[in-house]
Amino acid sequence: MSDLKILHNPRCSKSRQTLQLLHDKGFEPHIIEYMKTPVSADELTRIISQLGFSSARQLMRKGEDAYKQQNLAEQTLTEEALVSAMVGTAKLIERPIVLFNGKAAIGRPPESVLEIL
């Protein structure tokens, strides 16, 4: 299933659980370790749209120190600035994200990704 992808961080328990769930269901996703191979701004914008989010902020890990250090809670920031922050600091991206047939889902909880398969 070359169209099935997971933006994966092996250090994240939810990411590992989601990947294991996919394997248990017989899927072999293409694994993108986004901390090593960052996604582009265009790809991230497309993922935000596929998730049905109205703002890039919905994909951000607001508890990360980088979120506070970069003042990303500032409501006047543009969508481009938010996406740029995630591209520049990948740990700001909520994870894991599963992509399949033009759809996306965040694996929190891991079972939530099954609805797009």
78 assigned to active site: no
Q: Which of 6, 7, 8, 12 is catalytic?
A: 12
Domain of 89 in residue numbering reads as 5-116
In sequence order, which residues have a C-beta less than 8 Å from that of residue 60 and are 6 or more positions away?
67, 72, 82, 85, 86, 92, 93, 94
pTM of the predicted structure, to 2 decimals = 0.94
CATH number of the domain residue 9 falls in: 3.40.30.10
> Is 59:70 a contact under the CB 8 Å cutoff?
no
User: What is the residue-level pLDDT of the chain in tens, covering all 117 positions?
Assistant: 459 999 999 999 999 999 999 999 999 999 999 999 999 999 999 999 999 999 999 999 999 999 999 999 999 999 999 999 999 999 999 999 999 999 999 999 999 999 999
